[in-house]
Chain A
Amino acid sequence: MLIRNSKREYGVIAKFFHWVIALIIFTLFGVGLYMADLPVTPAKFELYGLHKSFGILVLSLVVLRFLWKMGNSTPELPKHMSMIEALGAKGAHLVLYLLMFGMPLSGWLMSSAAGFPVSVFGLFTLPDLIAANKEYLEYLEYFHEYAAYFLMAVVFVHMAGALYHHFYYKDTILKRMLPW
């Protein structure tokens, strides 16, 4: 088992980041969809609090993941991929990284604009990024919602790509990221 990535395989640290973040993102998406339309009750407040806390957890993990990625080699794409396919794969990864930063940051901005600061698991409260502002809040709400749908669409393409590699090309793309 590798700790760091090699030219062929992902190490355990990269795999850990990949799967933990994926799991939290799926949960956040589901909870986010569900909680937004709930009537205002203590349960809604609690879900919002948890959604924000886990969102900030993702942001922290993504920062660490990005640093780890920068200090590591990235396994190469198989030689049989066309230029277009390779560009598509790289593009999807770039968008995924942008959204992994963009989603929690827009959520944090939203909380600031709403005047509902982010408390991280009740341990500490994040400073507001902007002053409370109703107009910005509306734009940020749209952004956060549609960026979430877009993120899920790109995740779907990413997953479809991995399965396509596994079943059509029968290469190691999917296997090298599996945790076992």
Chain B
Amino acid sequence: MVRLFKTLLCSCWFLLCSFSVLYAEDVPQFEIDLDKSSLTFKAVQNGAEIEGQFKKFTGKIQFHPDHLDQSSVEIEVDMNSVDASYKDVVQNIKTKDWFFTTKYPTATMKTQNIEKVDGGYKANAELTIRDQTMPVEIMFNVAEFSAEKAHAKGKAALKRKDFNVGWEDTKAVENDVQVIFDVMTMAAQ
């Protein structure tokens, strides 16, 4: 009888433990649905805005609005997937002066922390482009959130020269670059 009681107690404890583990895993993991996502950058040349996109990027995303301390985002961008409507730009942005994709084929972004701010969230992240790692602030909002999918939109302002990207001259292409993303994610497999 005592033995049975002990077993029961143990089972209860075990169940309780499993629940708490489950609870900790309540922060869902997501992966990027590339077909429904976009990663765009905007720069200014000769006073007029131009833009390009990265067609391939992957991400490890853990996010829950109520568990921001356990939330994190890691994105890896395939720099060779850069695209723009002007082929000269596509060819040249891959060269040594710009992204130097043969040497630096990927760029990465890792969030350090995510906090709630007015109108959405702010992530302090480390961004690595070429061989330069710099802190960046990313502002985003979450348009849709469930355990199965999440939809986030946001942007970050960078200075291209911080990452040794592009010409020293900032008259032809200005230093300020906007990165804009619209990411649809689904539950990680």
Question: Which A residues have a C-beta under 8 Å from some C-beta of B?
Answer: 40-42, 45-46, 48-49, 52, 113-119, 122, 125, 132-134, 137
Q: Which residue of A lies closest to B45 (CB)?
A: A45
Q: Assess the A45–B172 pair: CB atoms within 8 A.
A: yes
A119 to B92, alpha carbons, bound, how many Å? 22
A20 to B55, alpha carbons, bound, how many Å? 46
Residues of B within 8 Å of A115, CB to CB, are 50-51, 84-86
Q: Which residue of B lies closest to A46 (CB)?
A: B172
Closest 4 CB pairs of A and B: A49-B46, A119-B47, A45-B172, A132-B85
Interface residues on B, range: 20 to 34
Q: In the complex, which residues 136-189 of chain B have their Cβ closer than 8 Å to any Cβ of chain A?
A: 167, 169, 171-173
Which single member of B46, B48, B51, B89 contacts A46 (CB below 8 Å)?
B46
Q: Given A46-B171, A137-B85, A137-B86, does the pair A116, B50 have CB atoms closer than 8 Å? A: yes
Binary per-residue interface labels of chain B (44-69) against chain A in the complex, 1 for a CB within 8 Å, 0 otherwise: 01111111000000000000000000
Which single member of B46, B49, B87, B91 contacts A45 (CB below 8 Å)?
B46
Q: Given A42-B167, A45-B172, A45-B173, does the pair A119, B85 have CB atoms closer than 8 Å? A: no
Q: Which residue of A lies closest to B46 (CB)?
A: A49
Residues of A within 8 Å of B171, CB to CB, are 42, 46
Residues of B within 8 Å of A132, CB to CB, are 85
Q: Assess the A119–B46 pair: CB atoms within 8 A.
A: yes
Residues of A within 8 Å of B89, CB to CB, are 40
CB distance from A43 to the nearest CB of B (A): 8
Q: Assess the A134–B87 pair: CB atoms within 8 A.
A: yes
CB distance from B144 to the nearest CB of A (A): 27
CB distance from A49 to the nearest CB of B (A): 4
Q: In the complex, which residues 33-49 of chain B have their Cβ closer than 8 Å to any Cβ of chain A?
A: 45-49
Q: With an 8 A cutoff between CB atoms, is B118 at the interface?
A: no
Residues of B within 8 Å of A122, CB to CB, are 46-47
Residues of B within 8 Å of A41, CB to CB, are 167
10 A–B contacts, CB within 8 A, in A order? A40-B88, A40-B89, A41-B167, A42-B171, A52-B46, A116-B45, A119-B48, A122-B47, A125-B47, A137-B85
A134 to B88, alpha carbons, bound, how many Å? 11
Which single member of B48, B92, B167, B169 contacts A116 (CB below 8 Å)?
B48
Q: Which residue of B lies closest to A122 (CB)?
A: B47
Q: Given A42-B172, A45-B172, does the pair A114, B86 have CB atoms closer than 8 Å? A: yes
Q: Assess the A117–B85 pair: CB atoms within 8 A.
A: no
CB distance from B101 to the nearest CB of A (A): 15
Q: Given A42-B167, A46-B171, does the pair A114, B46 have CB atoms closer than 8 Å? A: no
Q: Given A42-B169, A45-B172, does the pair A118, B85 have CB atoms closer than 8 Å? A: no
